[in-house]
Structure 1
C-alpha cells in the first residue's frame, strides 16, 4: 500500500510540475492584452466556474466550522497569489517568477514551525539561509555578473509564496476531514464572486475583449491557466497534501523552475548567470531543508 501511495505521489508531483511550470508563460500571454488585476480575476473566475459541480456535490460534507477555513484557503491559496503573480510579471520575466516560486517549501517550514508542529534542525536552518541567499542573488542579478537595482516586483512573488506556505499548513493540519476536490471547489466558490465583482465592476475588461486585437487569444490563455493551473492542479495538489506531508507536496517547486525556465528561453527571455546561480541556491536550500536524517 505504501509503495502504491509513493508511486501515485510521484506521478502527481510530475504532472503538477508540468502544469504549474507552464503557468508563468500563460500569465505572460494574458498580460499581452489585460492588466494584472484582470488576469488574476479571470483566472479565479474560470477556475471557480469550472468547479461549480464539485462545489455543489461537496456541500453535504461541510460543517459550520469549515467555512472560515475554506474562505482562508480561497484567499491564501488562490485569490491573492493569482493577483500577486500577475502583478509581479508586469516587470519580471516569467522564468524568474517560476524560479522564485521555489521559495514555497521554505515558507511552508517556517510557518509550520511557528504555528503548527514543524521542527527545525540545523540542516533546515542551513537550507533556509542558502535558499534566501539565492533569492537575493536572483533579485539582484544583472548582465555580465553585475548587480542590478532591486526589482521590487519580485517581492510580490515572495509574498505569494508566503501565502502558499500558510495555505499548505492550513489544509494539512486543519481540514484533513474534507476531500481534496471539496476543499478546492468550495474555497474557489467563496472567492470567485469577489473576483467577478472586481473584473466586471472595476476594470475595462468588456471593452478590451471586443476591441483589442489578440484579446481572445490572451483570454484563452488565462482561462486555460484557471482551469488547468488553478482548478485541476489544486485538486491534484490538495490530494497530494492529504496523502503526504506539506513539505513533500511543496517540493513540486524543485521542478517548476526547470519547466518555467524552458518556456522562458523558448519565448526569448534573457537569463543572466546570476539567475542560474540563484536558482541553484534556492533549489539546494530547499533540498537541504527537506532532507531527512538517515
Structure 2
C-alpha cells in the first residue's frame, strides 16, 4: 500500500483506539487512584514493548537518545498522569474533545520552535476544528454543570506536550526506526513509573482480590498494551510518512469515538453534538485538503 493511502489507514486506526482510551481511563479510576492509573499504564506498555523489541534500542546513538527522552516525557510520561487526574473531575468525553487542540499547538510549536512552515488551509482547518471542539465543550458544560472545568487545563497542557512530541519526532527522529524509538521511550520511563507506583502505596494498600481493583487493572492493562504500546508505534510511523499536522488531526476524530462510547455507557448525545461533530470533520478535511492544478492541454496553432 502506498504511503498516501497508508496514512489514512493509520489515522482511522488511531482514532478508534485512542478514542476508546478515555473510557478505559474512566473505568480504571473506579478502583485505582490517578497516579496508579498513570504509572500502571506506562508499565503495561513497557512490558509489552520490551517483549517484542528490546534489541532495537541498541540502534539508538547518543544524540537520538537525547531526543527520544524528550519524546518519552512529552508523548508518554506526563500525559499519562495528566489525563488520569483530569478525568477525576471532568467527563471522559470532554477530555477527548479538549485533546483536539493538539493540531493547533502542533502548528504553533512547529512554526515558532522548529521553523516548520504551514499552509493557509491547515491553519483554517485547525481553527474550524477548534470551533467544533468549543461547541462540544459548551454543550458538555451545559449538561454537566457540576464538573470542575479547572481540571480541563491539565488536558490542554497534555495537548501541548503531545504537539511538542509530534514536532520532535518529525524534526529530530525522522530517520530513526519506529520500533527503536517506541521501545526507547519506555526504557527511559519504566523505572520512574515503577518508583511512582511504589510511592503511591499500590503494593501495600490494595488487595488484588477486590473486584473493583481487579477490574480496573484489566482496563488499564488494555489501555497500556493497545492504547499506548501499539499506538505509539503506529503514531510515530504516521508522523514519519506524513506531516505533524496531519498526524495530530487524529485528535479531531478521537472525540467522536469517545462520544459513541459515552452513549453506549448511558451518556446523552443530542442534535448540537451532531452539529459540532460535523464541524470537526469538516476541519479535518480542510487541514488535509490539497489543491491540484489542472494540466492545460495545448491547443493547436491556427497555422498548423
* Shared fold (TM-score, shorter chain, > 0.5): yes
What interval of TM-score do these two structures reach, taking the shorter chain for normalisation? 0.7 to 0.9
Aligned match of 1:17: 15
Moved more, 143-152 or 87-96: 143-152
- For residue 266 of structure 2, the aligned residue among 262, 265, 268 is 268
Q: How far has the Cα of 1:275 moved from its partner?
A: 5.5
CA distance in 2, matches of 1:254, 1:149: 23
CA distance in 2, matches of 1:109, 1:144: 30
- Asked whether the 8 Å contact 2:97–2:252 carries over to 1, the reply is no
Q: How far has the Cα of 1:270 moved from its partner?
A: 3.4
- Equivalent residues, number: 292
Aligned pair 1:90/2:88, yes or no?
yes
Q: How far has the Cα of 1:256 moved from its partner?
A: 1.3
Cα 1:146/1:63, change in 2 over 3 Å: closer
Gaps of 5+ in 1: none
Aligned pair 1:213/2:214, yes or no?
no
Tell me, what secondary structure is at the counterpart of 1:153? helix
Moved more, 6-15 or 207-216: 207-216
Moved more, 280-289 or 76-85: 280-289
- For residue 189 of structure 1, the aligned residue among 177, 183, 187 is 187
RMSD of equivalent CA atoms: 2.6
Cα 1:102/1:130, change in 2 over 3 Å: same
Q: How far has the Cα of 1:75 moved from its partner?
A: 0.5
Aligned match of 2:165: 167
Aligned match of 1:201: 199
Cα 1:209/1:286, change in 2 over 3 Å: farther
Cα 1:106/1:134, change in 2 over 3 Å: same
Give deviations 1:213-271, integer Å, cap 9, x for gaps: 32111101001100001111111111111112112222222321221110011111235
Gaps of 5+ in 2: 293-304
- Asked whether the 8 Å contact 1:21–1:260 carries over to 2, the reply is yes
- For residue 69 of structure 1, the aligned residue among 67, 70, 75 is 67
Q: From the CA coordinates, give the structure whose radius of gyration is larger.
A: 2
Please report the TM-score for the alignment, with normalisation by the length of structure 2.
0.85
Cα 1:155/1:278, change in 2 over 3 Å: farther
Cα 1:240/1:128, change in 2 over 3 Å: closer
